[in-house]
Structure 1
Amino acid sequence: MAMTAALPVYLRVAGHPEFHVGDVTFDLLGGRADVRLLRDAMAELLRAAADAFEQPAEEGDDDAAPS
């Protein structure tokens, strides 16, 4: 049975309070993380966060990045 781990990712922009962007979840193979997969997952999460900043959702959407 594979073990998994999750790393919460928080983002703070300038003097604004930090907010939870998401989690990077990955499998632990033999008790160790595959660094390449972890790096890919983190890059995907940060790209999604950047997209949310560049194209904010309509007002009232709970998934919108804080302004």
Structure 2
Amino acid sequence: MDRDRARRFLRWADSYDSDLAMCWRLLAATGMRRGEALALRWRDVDIGAARIAVRRSVGTVKH
């Protein structure tokens, strides 16, 4: 996705659902995968140092 398209999408997401938009912003800004973002815990986030540690990932298993 190019930069202009990402900006348009994030503007739309802000107007649609601001809580979910923050998740989209996290993924866009970090390149984090969906499973990595879903596995985050508060202890992985250091707001003071502006760092997020990716320590695990989750996935789906189909039977």
TM-score (norm 2): 0.29
TM-score normalised over the length of structure 1: 0.28
Give the number of the structure whose residues are more often strand, by fraction.
1
* Rg (Cα) greater in structure: 1
